[in-house]
Amino acid sequence: MSALARAYLSLGSNVGDRRSYLEYALQELAGHGVHVVSCSQIYETEPWPEQRAPREHWYLNRAIEVETELPPYRLLTLIQEIEHHAGRTRPVLSPGQYAERTLDIDILFYEDRVVSDDRLQIPHPLLHLRRFVLAPLAEIAAEFEHPTLYQTIREILAESEDHRGIFPYSL
């Protein structure tokens, strides 16, 4: 039996029944041998990098901590399969453009590993710029140290210059 690896993921949705898509992601991960250890609360967040976007385009986001035997690339494949089954499409966009998403799952950290190639980048290369990732992650991993920035999530969030809207979500 392989040792369990600890990873942190970001979940987001801004199309359709956003909350149901986040719940679907949790169920599918658990159904494929990924144990969800903890979840942040759900936040409603302004799209990134847009500012002052209409509220109907805002995302629901949360961070989760998982344990898995899956190595990073197999975890990525599983995540992409879950996104696809949730109706996620990947249109060809210009750099800096972002499409609406039924479900978006990003690997933020996988242990303290650093992976960087055309298919996968861990730590997620933009997480330190995105309050919608940092705030939920700080709830469940405030003292986790970023393996290349050498700061805790709490410290990175405190220094964030991202001032887009982010609010606890309730039904």
DSSP letter for each residue of 8-62: EEEEEE-SSSHHHHHHHHHHHHHHTTEEEEEEPPPEEE--SS-SS--GGGPEEEE
104 is catalytic: yes
Q: Say how far apart CA 22 and CA 87 lie, in whole Å.
A: 13
- Residue from 106, 130, 131, 162 carrying the catalytic annotation: 106
Q: What is the mean pLDDT of residues 34-40?
A: 97
Phi, psi of 96 (to 5 degrees): 90, -5
Q: In angstroms, how far apart are the furthest CA atoms of the chain? A: 49
52 is catalytic: no
Q: Say how far apart CA 119 and CA 73 lie, in whole Å.
A: 9
88 is catalytic: yes
User: Residue 146 has what DSSP assignment?
Assistant: P
Q: Say how far apart CA 80 and CA 107 lie, in whole Å.
A: 11
- Residue from 18, 88, 130, 131 carrying the catalytic annotation: 88
**pLDDT band with cut points at 50, 70 and 90 for residue 88:** confident
Average pLDDT, the chain: 91
- Residue from 101, 130, 131, 162 carrying the catalytic annotation: 101
131 is catalytic: no
- Indicate the SS3 state at residue 130: coil
Reply yes or no on whether the pLDDT at 91 is more than 60.
no
Q: What is the CATH number of the domain that holds 118?
A: 3.30.70.560
pLDDT score recorded for residue 53:
73
Q: Say how far apart CA 121 and CA 107 lie, in whole Å.
A: 8
pTM: 0.93
In DSSP terms, 49 is beta-bridged to: none
Residues 6+ apart with CB under 8 A from 132: 12, 43, 45, 46, 48, 59, 61, 162, 164, 166
Supply the angle between the helices 18-31 and 72-85 in degrees, to the nearest 10: 140
Give the domain range for residue 20.
Answer: 5-168
pLDDT tens per residue across span 5-35:
999 999 999 999 999 999 999 999 999 989 9
- Residue from 104, 130, 131, 162 carrying the catalytic annotation: 104
In DSSP terms, 7 is beta-bridged to: 66, 110
> Domain total for the chain?
1
